[in-house]
Amino acid sequence: MVQKLFGSNTRVKLLKLFLFNPNEKYFVRELTRILDEHINSIRRELENLLSMEIIKEIRITKDTKSNKKYYKINTGFGIYNELRALFAKLEIVSEDELKNKIKELKGVEYFALTGVFCSVSSPIDILVIGNPNQEELNNIITQLETTTEEEINYTVMSKEEFIHRLDLTDKFLYEVLDKSKIVLKDNITADISAKYYDFKDLDNRS
């Protein structure tokens, strides 16, 4: 999926490496080893990314004979945050094993990604409705934090609490629901939309 969007497997690998390691810098031969790609492909795609100002070139001179070129992500690039969130989202959505783990979480009726996963300002990044096994949920949160390299804020509430807070038009809950989101599991909203809340225009199911 990602390769089709960006046209080159090498470019996708470079973008993922740079975006998820914003404090690191790399030289060309180092990139060929890390990504297992031919040096000519690496150089060509580095030039493409430089021309778009997605990455920047850094020269480090240790002595008069050494002037090595390094490359790193340009965090000042206009859509840096959006691009990083897109890659994190695509990484998660395309990872069937992780999606299946989420869908098979016992006791969970609704699982939605928002916040950092959708490049929106939200009080939380994940909303879970139900009574999940905490250890299983923690494993999934850890996996998502590893993928995004972000600390993830999440909220778990029972179905009863969820409906009660909807009934009270709870500000926190409605703020979360009004944000863009990726719904990975939903066994609840069809039953309560008519009475409490119109979910159909807000959900972006995978």
pLDDT in tens, 11-51: 999 998 999 888 999 999 999 999 999 999 999 999 999 99
Please give the CATH topology (third level) of the domain spanning 2-78: Arc Repressor Mutant, subunit A (1.10.10)
Per mean pLDDT, which range of 35-44, 163-172, 186-195 is the poorest? 186-195
The CATH number for 82-205, chosen from 3.40.198, 1.10.3470, 3.30.70, 3.30.460, is: 3.30.460
The band of 202, judged by pLDDT with boundaries at 50, 70 and 90, is very low
Q: What is the mean pLDDT of residues 74-89?
A: 85
Q: What is the mean pLDDT of residues 125-133?
A: 95
Higher pLDDT, 199 or 175: 175
Q: Is the pLDDT of residue 85 over 90?
A: no
> What residue spans define the domains of the chain?
2-78, 82-205
Structure token pair of residue 35:
């990504």
DSSP string over 50-108? HHTTSEEEEEEEEETTEEEEEEEE-TTSTTHHHHHHHHHHHHHHT-HHHHHHHHT-TTE
Q: What is the mean pLDDT of residues 146-168?
A: 90
Contacts of 26 (CB under 8 A, 6+ apart): 17, 34, 70, 71, 72
Q: Which residues of 60-78 are buried (b: 16+ CB within 10 A; e: fewer)?
A: eeeeeeeeeeebbbbeebe
Q: What is the mean pLDDT of residues 172-181?
A: 90
Structure token pair of residue 128:
């879970």
Structure token pair of residue 206:
């995978």
The band of 142, judged by pLDDT with boundaries at 50, 70 and 90, is very high
Q: What is the mean pLDDT of residues 143-150?
A: 80
Q: Is the pLDDT of residue 4 over 70?
A: no
Mean of the per-residue pLDDT values of the chain: 85
